[in-house]
Amino acid sequence: MINSNINQKGSDAAPQLPAFLTALGQRLPAYPGSLLCVAALNLVLRPQLPDDVRNSLLGRHMRVRVSDAGVAFDFSWNGSCFTARRAGGVPDLEIGACVADMVALARRQQDPDTLFFARRLTMEGDTELGLLVKNTLDAMDMPLTEVGKQAVLRLLKFLPQPNGGAVR
């Protein structure tokens, strides 16, 4: 089991969100955020997942916690897509970091191992599942932000335009 609780107030800590935003995030209901999270995961990650990874994720309860935003997103893989879960229970894997570190990871500006050993990234739960997720993300050819941008552009091609045409 991986279990690393962190204190992100060290000298090399990433910038944190203002306290009022954290307080706001803690007051928001969790499930709508999880729905948005899985929409993004399905748009960006689902097409990239190899079959063996899909099989390993099947039914596993995962949580992404954004520490300084005061939010957590619970989800699982149902065999064909990510689905939102109601908050509660102990997830098989919880990954946590502040907003700045999450963005840096998505852009590949920070290495997850570096953040983990600096106690700025937490992974709690199933060690094998944590390594599977990390290695799957590392194997992607481009940063998640670029994959996401391309996915959004593909999606926009199917939306109707005011002039009756599609985005080209």
pLDDT in tens, 94-134: 999 999 999 888 888 899 999 999 999 999 999 999 999 99
Q: Which residue has the higher pLDDT, 161 or 47?
A: 47
Give the model confidence (pLDDT) of 59-87 as tens digits: 999 999 999 999 999 999 999 999 999 98
Residue 81, Ramachandran bin (φ over 0: left; ψ between -120 and 50: alpha; else beta): beta
pLDDT at 10: 44
Answer for the pair 91, 61: CB distance below 8 angstroms, yes or no: yes
Answer for the pair 93, 3: CB distance below 8 angstroms, yes or no: no
Answer whether 0.85 is exceeded by the pTM. Answer: no
150 pLDDT band, cuts 50/70/90, is: confident
Q: Rounded to an integer, what is the distance from CA 143 to the centroid of its chain? A: 13
Neighbours of 124 (CB within 10 A): 19
CA dihedral 151, 156, 158, 162 (to 10 degrees): 180
pLDDT at 143: 67
157 pLDDT band, cuts 50/70/90, is: confident
163 pLDDT band, cuts 50/70/90, is: low
Instruction: Summarize the confidence of residues 130-144 as an average pLDDT.
Output: 85
pLDDT at 3: 44
End-to-end CA distance of the chain: 48
Answer for the pair 45, 96: CB distance below 8 angstroms, yes or no: no
Distance, CA of 102 to CA of 87 (rounded, Å):
20
Distance, CA of 125 to CA of 6 (rounded, Å):
15
Give the model confidence (pLDDT) of 7-45 as tens digits: 444 446 788 877 767 666 677 777 888 998 899 899 888
139 pLDDT band, cuts 50/70/90, is: confident
